[in-house]
């Protein structure tokens, strides 16, 4: 009969108890050592393995799901032809031509963004004004530039007020909808 696998909490408590027992009980430590040495070759996988020393944590990186990103690209193409704009060879056109088209793309992409997400500034001060960055500030919200030394609070000029998406609401997708199709090919009959 395969041994039951204990849950995380049970494992946590067990590891905790074993840690002290291995540390202070030499006989137990010897048995644990033997068990560990043989674990890879002899011990059945179903047998819970005591983990007296937690292994170093693996690097914490994860894949961002592509679905929402592709959907947003599709939306900006549909509403504002962003992909057409980015993919077109600009070198052939005058600034006036590019400017005229950019206006349409800008106008409609902004409209599309505004209706699907709420943008807010991270700092409400005017750019260029002096601001104070307190101790314990969030480094993901505030990037320090230039002469970064000493201890907070830091005083400096606000060069970019930052952007934060406060709310994002993308359309719901029907099952089987292929978000990789950013713009279908069009054939006029």
Question: What does the binding site for other proteins look like in residue numbers (CB under 8 A)?
Answer: 71, 74, 78, 81, 84-85, 87-88, 90, 92-93, 97-98, 100-101, 103-105, 107, 169, 171-178, 183, 186
Q: Which is nearer to other proteins, 7 or 184 (CB)?
A: 184
- Tokens read off for 120: 């807010």
Q: How far is the CB of 89 from other proteins (least distance, A)?
A: 9
Q: DSSP letter string over 78-128?
A: HHH-HHHHHHS-GGGS-HHHHHHHHHHHHHHHHHHHHHHEEEE-S--SPTT
Q: Which is nearer to other proteins, 105 or 161 (CB)?
A: 105
Q: How far is the CB of 98 from other proteins (least distance, A)?
A: 6
Q: How far is the CB of 56 from other proteins (least distance, A)?
A: 44
Rg (CA), the chain: 29
Q: Which is nearer to other proteins, 22 or 79 (CB)?
A: 79
Q: Which is nearer to other proteins, 4 or 94 (CB)?
A: 94
Instruction: Look at strands 130-133 and 154-157 and give their pairing.
Output: antiparallel
DSSP 8-state symbol, 25: -
């Amino acid at each position: 009969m395969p041994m039951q696998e204990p849950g995380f909490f049970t494992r946590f408590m067990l590891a905790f108890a074993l840690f002290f027992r291995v540390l202070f009980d030499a006989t137990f430590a010897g048995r644990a050592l033997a068990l560990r040495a043989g674990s890879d070759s002899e011990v059945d996988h179903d047998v819970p393995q005591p983990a007296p020393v937690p292994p170093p944590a693996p690097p914490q990186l994860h894949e961002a799901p592509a679905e929402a990103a592709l959907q947003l690209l599709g939306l900006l193409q549909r509403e504002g032809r962003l992909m057409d704009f980015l993919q077109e060879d600009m070198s052939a056109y005058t600034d006036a031509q590019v400017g005229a088209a950019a206006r349409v793309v800008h106008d409609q992409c902004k409209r599309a963004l505004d209706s699907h997400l709420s943008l807010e500034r991270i700092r409400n001060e005017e750019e260029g004004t002096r601001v104070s960055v307190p101790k314990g500030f969030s480094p993901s919200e505030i990037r320090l530039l230039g002469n970064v030394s000493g201890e907070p609070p830091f005083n400096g000029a606000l060069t970019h007020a930052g952007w934060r998406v406060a709310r994002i609401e993308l359309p719901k997708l029907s099952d089987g909808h292929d978000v990789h199709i950013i713009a279908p090919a069009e054939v006029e009959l």
